[in-house]
Every structure is written in C-alpha cells, then in structure tokens.
Amino acid sequence: MSMTMGRSPANPSAPAGRPLLEVNDLKKHFPIKAGFFGGKTGNVYAVDGVTFHINKGETLSLVGESGCGKSTVGKTLLRLYNPTDGQVVLDGQRIDDLSEGKLRPVRRRIGVVFQDPFSSLNPRMRVRDLLAEPIRNYGLAKNGADLQARLDKLMDTVRLPRDAVNRFPHEFSGGQRQRICIARALAGEPELIICDEAVSALDVSVKAQIVNLLQDLQKDLGLALLFISHDLAIVEHMTHRVAVMYLGKIVEIAPKRSLFAAPKHPYTEALLSAVPVPSPGQARKRIILKGDVPSPIKPPKGCRFHTRCPYAFDRCRVDEPRLQQTSPEHWSACHLHDLPAAENPLARDTVLYS
C-alpha cells in the first residue's frame, strides 16, 4: 500500500494489527519572521519527528513540560496546523494531505476537548446550538425529532439535566462547562477524542468527576483517547500507554505499568521524581534537574536532554539517540541502554516510590 511507503521509516512500535491512528515521523516547524520584509530568520522546531500509534478503545497519554510540543501534536493531528512533514494515518487513510473538503468527514471522527472551558464555548450560543452545530454540520440528524433525541442523549451521556440545553454557557460552573465541551466533542460520534489538558484547569473535586466521566465514556463507547497532560498522577490513573515528550521529540513510550515502575529515560525518571506526592514524611529520592528547558528554536545537538541530564556522557553531546526497545512494548531514546547493564543506571526494574 502506498501509505506505508512514505518517506519516513516504518512505525517501529506499531503492533501487527491495524491501529486506529498511526503517526509517522510527524514534524511541525513554525517559521520565525523578522524585519521589515518579514524574511524568515529561523524555525521553531515545535514537533520534530514524532512517531506513535493509538489502538481502538485505547488511551495514550502525551506528557511533558510546557513548550515540549505536546499540544502542537494534538493540533497538527486535527489539522488545525498543517504538518511540515510526516504522515498521519487514521484507520488506514492518510489524512495529513487531504484537501479541506475531503477532510470534513474525517474531522467528524476525531473530537477534541480543550483546556479552558471558559474560552472554548461561544458565550452567545445556547447549549442547544453549541451541540446542534456539529450534528448539523456533519448532517447526522435526519429530522427535528432526531436532533432532539441526539441532544437528549448527549446531555444524558455527560450527566447534565436535559433541560439545561436552553441555557447559556455563563450559567454553568467550570466542571459543567467542561461536560458541555465533552458533549460537543461527542456530537459527531467520533472514534478518537483528543483531550488537550482537558482537566488541568479544574478544581480537585471537579477534576475527579470529569476523569471518571472520561473513563466511563471510553468503556461505554469504545473511544480512543489521546490524553495530553502535564499531570502525571492523573495520567497514571487513566491511561493505558504513555509517551513522554521533550523538546519536540518522544523520548520514551511504554505501557503505563512498565513506565511508572521503572522509567528507562533519565528525563522520565526526573519528571516522576519531581511530582509532589500527597503523603507527608515519605522520603523519596528526588532528582532536581538543573536549569530550564532549552529553546526549541535552537535545540541542543546530540541528545536534546544532554544539557540537563545527570548521566550525560560524551556521546550524548554529538550523537542523537533513537528510540530503542528495552523490553516488550517499552521504547526509550537513550544511549545508556547501549552500555553494559552494570554501567547503566536505568537498567533496573525497581520502583521509585512506594
């Protein structure tokens, strides 16, 4: 098939069966323009070669710090940005180079929930219109009664009262608004929902409600989720697999258990050790990374993490590591795994925290 014959190498971590979504060597560079004539002076390498897949009904989490490119990946998948390079394959169909017209039916299959429920709903539209818009747009409702039935069902699914459809967004609390956003994402009957920091802006008790709702929806509707987040505890709670991003690249991708038990990349290890744990008095080994994330305009040569990595050695400064398999389904981009096990500080299966 032509789609597997692209410029990019075959997706190494993809399973034998056909995944719902396959992303191969995706790149998104933003040009920097400066000066009177707006000439291009450089690029922001926001996403620089990202490869992963999501199976049907699976949750893959994309974690990393601000500026690592995780949101850009989400937006590029949705074609809110046009990719610079690479392939996005949804259910066997390449969608990264489709024209606007051909993209429309594909957009129905991918829903999205953004971080801020206050700015992502049009304040002048009633909930009814907010939810009916995608249904009409994709021509899903056969008639008025069908539309009403769909609205009722959506409101039931997100556990809001049916008569709330006549109200405006400002009449709802943050958690309720996020439910409306989820209902809107579900309106097109998607197979994949991209949650871009969907619970980050919510309060603790409301966050738990939304997390539970998303998990229930996944179970009931067989949805696949791409869960973009910086909150590792929430990610661990709800995901199947995790991909860790740093400066536009995936540095580690693994099933949840394997990753949280024994991370195989120094960045993941530091990230996990930095999370404050709500159990006072628990002594943990904490790795405090020095300095800040380098600029994605001029990413460091060699391994992008070498400027902050506590284990960096000469090779890391010149040679960029590729993702390599450390155990079944567990991939990590780190040169340490080429060393003999005795010299590799990450070659252990022990748990970092109890």
Partner 1 sequence: MALLEVDNLQTHFRTPDGGVNRAVDGLSFSVEAGETVAIVGESGCGKSVTSMSILRLIPEPPGKIAGQIRFNGKNLLEMSDREMRAIRGNEISMIFQEPMTSLNPVLSIGNQIGEALVLHQGLSKREAEAKAVEMLTLVGIPAPDKRVKEYPHQLSGGMRQRVMIAIALACNPKLLIADEPTTALDVTIQAQILDLMRDLKHRVGAAIVLITHDLGVVAEVAERVIVMYAGRKVEEAPVGELFNNPKHPYTKGLLGAVPKLGSSLTGESTRLAEIPGLVPSLKNKIQGCVFAGRCPEATELCREINPALELKAPRHQAACHYATKEAVAA
Footprint on this chain of partner 1 (rule: CB under 8 A): 65-66, 173-175, 203-209, 211-212, 215, 230, 232-234, 236-237, 256-257, 260-261, 270-282, 286, 288-289, 292-293, 351-354
The minimum distance between CB 67 and partner 1, in angstroms, equals 9
Nearest Cα to 194, choosing from 258, 273, 254, 111?
111
10 or 297: CB nearest partner 1: 297
Sign of CA dihedral 129, 132, 137, 139: negative
**Length of the chain, in residues:** 354
The minimum distance between CB 109 and partner 1, in angstroms, equals 27
Task: Say how many Å lie between the first and final Cα of the chain, rounded.
Answer: 48
Cα separation, 204 vs 199, in Å, equals 9
Which secondary structure element, helix H or strand E, spans residue 50, and what is its range?
A: strand 39-54
Residues whose CB is less than 8 angstroms from the CB of residue 36 and which lie 6 or more positions away in sequence, other chains included: none
Nearest Cα to 87, choosing from 15, 30, 9?
9
Nearest Cα to 87, choosing from 29, 28, 23?
23
Please identify which residue in the block is written with the tokens 């990946």.
73
215 or 324: CB nearest partner 1: 215
The minimum distance between CB 87 and partner 1, in angstroms, equals 30
The minimum distance between CB 2 and partner 1, in angstroms, equals 39
Tokens (6 digits) for 135 = 């249904």
The minimum distance between CB 209 and partner 1, in angstroms, equals 5
Cα separation, 98 vs 106, in Å, equals 9
Nearest Cα to 344, choosing from 353, 335, 333?
335
Nearest Cα to 78, choosing from 190, 158, 179?
190
234 or 334: CB nearest partner 1: 234
The minimum distance between CB 271 and partner 1, in angstroms, equals 6
The minimum distance between CB 291 and partner 1, in angstroms, equals 8
280 or 328: CB nearest partner 1: 280
**What are 195's strand-pairing partners?**
113, 227
The minimum distance between CB 308 and partner 1, in angstroms, equals 8
2 or 205: CB nearest partner 1: 205
* Contact by Cβ (8 Å): 228, 74: yes
12 or 222: CB nearest partner 1: 222
**What are 192's strand-pairing partners?**
110, 224
Cα separation, 262 vs 268, in Å, equals 9
* Contact by Cβ (8 Å): 343, 335: no
54 or 211: CB nearest partner 1: 211
2 or 282: CB nearest partner 1: 282
66 or 99: CB nearest partner 1: 66
Tokens (6 digits) for 338 = 């080429």
The minimum distance between CB 62 and partner 1, in angstroms, equals 15
DSSP of 2-48: GGGGSSSPP-TT--SSPPSEEEEEEEEEEEEEETTTTEEEEEEEEEE
